[in-house]
Structure 1
Amino acid sequence: MSTKTRAPQERRSNALAVGGVVVAMILVIGAGFLVNRLRDSSQDIAAAPAGSTEHGVAIGDPDAPHQVVIYEDFLCPYCGQLEAASGDELARLADEGKVYVDYRPFDLLRTDYSVDAANAFAVVLDVSGPEVAKTFHDELYADQPAEGGPYPDADWLVAKAVEAGATEDDVRPGIEDGAQEQWVTDATSAAADAGVNSTPTVLLDGRFFQDGRTMQEIVDNLVAALE
């Protein structure tokens, strides 16, 4: 093979090698960013105990030996990852009486969808009760939109609420009109007052939980602490 034939192939091989290194670096940086967000304990979190505020929905026995509080934004992709990894396990442990879990959505990302989804959650909680609101919460994460949009409209939120067990006539007006936007504002203020400035923020028995290097490892260690 001549030098002229070999040179383009070598350049292509080198380009592929460099591209692979760049992709690997992006993955490492992304993983590190996620872990740092979850492990940032540079501030004190002074959250109210699970079930003690109106800005969330709690599952399990209030007298369980452990409490978990999760601050979240319905658009936050890391919150979606946390829910996918932990939702079933936390529900199981709550059913077994081992933990009382309080999910507290608020508007961290300052997007229309963050407000609209939290408003819809508060409407469902108000008119359909905590069980339906928790199911709606889970549905929102199961079909979470991309952080950059496009974002679902009010009709989509109403349909999700109905799938969760709400009656359309009960929830549509509040979802369309933003009837609980003050609830969202208050929930956001309460999170800020507690010292929460990232999502997801997970508290175990009142203390910031940060044990793990990946989302799955963090969830596995959380579940182990609750067993």
Structure 2
Amino acid sequence: MSEKNSAGKRSARERLQEERRRDQAREKRRRTLIVSAAVVGVLGLAAVVGLIAANAGDSSDSSGSGPVAAPTGASGGDQPAIPVGATDAPSTLTIWEDFRCPACAQFENAVRDTMHELTDSGQVKVEYHLATIIDGNMGGSGSLNAANAAACAQDAGKFVPYHDVLYQNQPPEPDDAFARDAKLFELAAKVPGLDTPAFRACVSEGTHDGWVNKSNEAFRAGDFRGTPTVLLNGESIFPTKGKEQISIENLKKWVAEANKGKKPGTAFPSPAAPSAPASPTAG
């Protein structure tokens, strides 16, 4: 009996040890996938946002009527975008996002440092396309107002830091705080040199609303599932690239693979000085 008891105790110990090893392996994987805590939770949320975007009407004013004034250095074509990084970077990340979208905030806040590293080193150029689907789904105008403010920050050469501040301070999805100019001015004060009379006038007057609406039209016509939509050289990488889950490590690996044998970009645009808004063009 004692031998059986001893064997039973060993078996129980071995099971506990095996469970501990499995727990440790899971914890190691959790720590290694830096984005997992922020991005894995995004996946279901992004799917929900995509489902809502696909099935709900858009009540926001995205008719494209009225003047379309592209912000300084931005593209005003069929798919308006704000470019960040070297113009001759060997790869392009295309990101469609909405400043009211929780999944977008979780994604951006998780990959921010990596994105800066990739753009600053000339590995990628990022093209930011701004959408307003949450305004249409939830009501309000915060998506449009924040996107216009970000475009105004682009006029001042401060799109990236203001873009980051907006996501770091994103209100809960039902709270349309970004519809209030005062909130956008408060956040602009966190970006040195941005909160100027020119910026405030640009925000208050909705200078780039037509341009944002045109971008949102392009999003709706693009048959995308939701925001964020992230493409590397035209191939979707969010939430997965093929069978691989997005993570910091995988994002760097995918860019390195895409850039193999290619030189980093060096043609960085000169920092824009604050200037008058672009002249409106027919929308």
TM-score norm. by structure 1 comes to 0.71
Structure 1 residue ranges (4+ consecutive) displaced by more than 4 angstroms after TM superposition: 35-40
- What is the aligned counterpart of 1:158 among 164, 173, 185? 185
- Name the SS for the 2:92 alignment partner: strand
* Residues 142-153 of structure 1 aligned to structure 2 (within 5 Å): 142-152=168-178, 153=180
Structure 1: runs of 5 or more not aligned: 1-29, 44-50
Structure 2: runs of 5 or more not aligned: 1-40, 55-72, 257-283
State whether residues 38 and 201 of structure 1, in contact with CA within 8 Å, keep that contact through their aligned partners in structure 2. no
The structure with more helix, counted as a fraction of residues? 1
- Name the SS for the 2:177 alignment partner: coil
- Give the Å deviation of 1:161: 2.4
Letter in 1 for 2:75: T
Give the CA RMSD over aligned residues: 2.8
Q: Say yes or no: does 1:182 pair with 2:215.
A: no
Tell me, in whole angstroms, the C-alpha distance in 2 between the residues paired with 1:84 and 1:113: 19
Q: Look up the match of 1:14.
A: none
Identity percentage of aligned residues:
31
**Structure number, greater radius of gyration:** 2
CA 1:133 to 1:180, structure 2 compared with 1: closer, same or farther past 3 Å? same
- Give the Å deviation of 1:150: 5.0
Tell me, in whole angstroms, the C-alpha distance in 2 between the residues paired with 1:150 and 1:190: 23
- Give the Å deviation of 1:167: 4.2
State whether residues 42 and 107 of structure 2, in contact with CA within 8 Å, keep that contact through their aligned partners in structure 1. no
- What is the aligned counterpart of 1:115 among 144, 152, 162? 144
CA 1:60 to 1:158, structure 2 compared with 1: closer, same or farther past 3 Å? same
- Give the Å deviation of 1:60: 1.9
TM-score norm. by structure 2 comes to 0.58
Q: Say yes or no: does 1:34 pair with 2:45.
A: yes
CA 1:155 to 1:71, structure 2 compared with 1: closer, same or farther past 3 Å? same
Q: Look up the match of 2:235.
A: 207
Letter in 2 for 1:155: A
Q: Look up the match of 1:137.
A: 163
- Name the SS for the 2:88 alignment partner: coil
